[in-house]
Amino acid sequence: MSTARQELLKLLAQKSFRLGEFKLSSGGTSDYYIDCRTTTLDARGAQLVGEVFLDEMRGQGWHADAIGGLTMGADPIVVAVAVISGTLNGFLVRKAEKQHGTGQRIEGFHEKGARVVIVDDVCTTGSSTVQAIEAAREFGFKVVGVMCLVEREDAKGRPNVEKAAAPAPFISIFTANDVRKEHLAIST
């Protein structure tokens, strides 16, 4: 594991992982919660997210023009990767089209036919990631890869995202179990 990746895992375990009883957006409950925004919006966390995502994209051979995802979990990831890369553009997918102005659902980069990577912070059921994939394709982007920072390993999440992303691959940087193990290791 690269140094940046190890440091990012440690930050997620310290800043984003909580044990307790939590209600999830899926309607279920969990004995832990991961709020990645406390890491992705941290100055050092943002740098690490940009580096790790960019390294993974390069390692996968994804030659993308832009990176984007559904607001709000993807927002800091998109900005971090775009800034660290110095060449990738960013776009954000609104949950619904604006009802005023230009009525756009995709904000930022707008080049039909462009190769893009869809990102998300946490993947549980995959719903927000799937929405972003569908909106990107409807706009006219070619999705070459899909990534999440932490995969909760919900029985539905990965299959839902993989089905929507196909033929593009889906990669998770960490699993919830990775973050839990690190949290427990540094908490003792």
**Residue 165 is which amino acid?**
A
Is pLDDT above 70 for 102?
no
How deeply is 186 buried, as exposed, middle or buried, from its count of CB atoms within 10 A (0-12, 13-18, 19+)?
exposed
Phi (first) and psi of residue 75, to 5 degrees: -50, -55
How many Å apart are CA 73 and CA 16, to the nearest integer? 13
What residues does each domain of the chain span? 3-187
pLDDT band at 127 (very low <50, low <70, confident <90, very high): very high
How many Å apart are CA 69 and CA 24, to the nearest integer? 20
Cβ atoms of residues 35 and 16 within 8 Å: yes
Domain 3-187 class in CATH: alpha beta
What is the mean predicted confidence (pLDDT) over 42-66?
98
Cβ atoms of residues 68 and 132 within 8 Å: yes
- The per-residue pLDDT of the chain, averaged, comes to 93
pLDDT for the residue 101: 59
Residue 161 makes CB contacts below 8 A (sequence gap 6+) with 123, 126, 129, 130, 133, 146, 148, 170
Among the residue ranges 21-25, 44-48, 77-81, 158-162, the one predicted with the least confidence is 21-25
How far is it between the farthest Cα atoms of the chain? 53
Q: At what angle do helices 3-11 and 176-187 cross, to 10 degrees?
A: 80
Among the residue ranges 17-26, 96-105, 141-150, 156-165, the one predicted with the least confidence is 96-105
What is the mean predicted confidence (pLDDT) over 38-56?
98
Cβ density class 101-125: b for 16+ within 10 Å, e for less = eeeebbebbeeeebbbbbbbbbbbb
Is pLDDT above 90 for 24?
no
Better-scored residue on pLDDT, 46 or 102: 46
Proportion of the chain above pLDDT 70, given as a percent: 95
Long-range contacts for 22-31 (Cβ within 8 Å, ≥24 apart)? 24/124, 25/124, 25/125, 25/127, 26/124, 26/125, 26/127, 26/154, 30/152
